[in-house]
Amino acid sequence: MSITMTDVVSIVKKIIDISIVWLVIYVVLKNIRNNVKLSLIFKGVAIVIFLKVISDIFGFTTIGVLLEYIIMYGPLALIVIFQPEIRNILEQLGRNQLLGRHKVLTVDERERMVYQIVNAMDYLRKQRIGALIVIERDISLGNYIDKAKKLYADLSSDLLISIFFPNNPLHDGGVILQGDRITVAGAVFPTSSNSKLSTKRLGTRHRAAVGISEETDCISLIVSEETGKVSIAVKGELFYNLTMDDIRMMLIDELRPKQEDLVSEDEAVENEEDIYEEDN
């Protein structure tokens, strides 16, 4: 049985077709994982479908009818209710970068970046100077960069401290880091509407840190002006009142690529620890 050129072309088309479908599914699932609000929507839809299957299996008529109405009109309701979240997800698809700048840094460059950030935060917390530092990862923060004051300066603890020093024109808002460079200062971020956040304990700076971490995969670092406590927000979750060692280890872990090309994960951690000890 001979294979003609037409058969080959047909097979290639089917392979491309299936690959595109899987690529779309992968991108959608990746964005769902990185967005807290969309992940909640996805979980809700999955629960409804699961309950519908259970009701069909066991013959639960009443719940089955209700779920049919939900499935029938649910998509329209989701579009209306969660329109802002859906818009944000579509914007994220356009802002996704093939390779975040933090991933092209060497182990030495990443550790020195963490060292500068930790030094600055340690000084700011002791002096009770409020600060918000946001580190871009795979999802671009271009929308916020465009509206802030451009710096494009090499990262240093002295520069970070001077930016947030009281009465400095740039101290309001947040700083955005791309790789080991300070891109902008005075950036304004959306505040989180998460009802679980304590409004008495947390101010606008903390809510903005959580808000931008809900919309993107960035790392948000906060120094409280009132208490001097330091915190990190990642993927919509706030880690409040951490030690400086906690901050350093979390930064090292979050900034490290998932797969090291030249050394194993354990070896990378040991190298980074050695570099930090040398700097101290």
Per-residue pLDDT at 211 exceeds 50: yes
If asked whether residues 18 and 107 sit together in one domain, one would say no
User: What pLDDT, on the 0 to 100 scale, is given for residue 264?
Assistant: 44
- Could you give the number of structural domains in the chain? 2
Secondary-structure percent of the chain, ordered helix, strand, coil, rounded to 5: 60, 15, 25
If asked whether residues 126 and 254 sit together in one domain, one would say yes
Domain boundary among 39, 71, 95: 95
Which range marks the domain in which residue 45 is found?
5-95
Domain boundary among 80, 95, 110: 95
If asked whether residues 252 and 191 sit together in one domain, one would say yes
If asked whether residues 112 and 190 sit together in one domain, one would say yes
User: What pLDDT, on the 0 to 100 scale, is given for residue 32?
Assistant: 65
In angstroms, the CA 224 to CA 164 distance is 12
If asked whether residues 26 and 161 sit together in one domain, one would say no
In angstroms, the CA 190 to CA 186 distance is 13
Contact status, residue 164 vs residue 171, Cβ threshold 8 Å: yes
If asked whether residues 140 and 275 sit together in one domain, one would say yes
CATH code where residue 186 lies = 3.40.1700.10
In angstroms, the CA 178 to CA 19 distance is 32
Contact status, residue 160 vs residue 117, Cβ threshold 8 Å: yes
**pLDDT averaged over every residue in the chain:** 81
Cα 2 to Cα 6, 7, 8, 12, 150: the distances in Å are: 11, 10, 11, 17, 64
Q: What would the pLDDT profile of 13-37 be if each residue is shown by its tens digit?
A: 889 989 998 888 887 777 666 666 6
If asked whether residues 52 and 78 sit together in one domain, one would say yes
Q: pTM of the entire structure?
A: 0.64
